[in-house]
Structure 1
Amino acid sequence: MVAHEPTQQALIPALSDEHLELQRMVRNFAQKEILPIAAEHDESGEFPLETIKKMGAMGLMGIEVP
């Protein structure tokens, strides 16, 4: 059997500069604010309200993602 490897991302549209900046911002936030506390919150079942508030202050709550 021969595996097929796609040569391009056919169905993924190119992101605008604005979308790329949003992607970078969210990735940086997740790495700095969420990743360090994720396991702790998973274990305790505690809801990270302060983190959610920070996301809201950044305008990340209720956004529509293309």
Structure 2
Amino acid sequence: MIKVCPQIYKFTPLNMRFDFMSKENPWYEFHCRVVRFKITDDTYESIITNLDKDEFTINDIKDLYCKH
């Protein structure tokens, strides 16, 4: 399935710790949100987060991830 649908499924290498999956339960549902910020006229930064869109606006996330 990973090779057939790489846009949906990702491979987790054996040396990467991920305790949520096992041979008995090989699937893990993960909800995330991708937020893109304009940094310059032609540059963007993309952030993947699990922060709820109803609780955190794009400006909230920008403030949280802002480099000081």
TM-score surpassing 0.5? no
Larger % of strand: which? Answer: 2
The TM-score with structure 2 as length reference comes to 0.24
Larger % of helix: which? Answer: 1
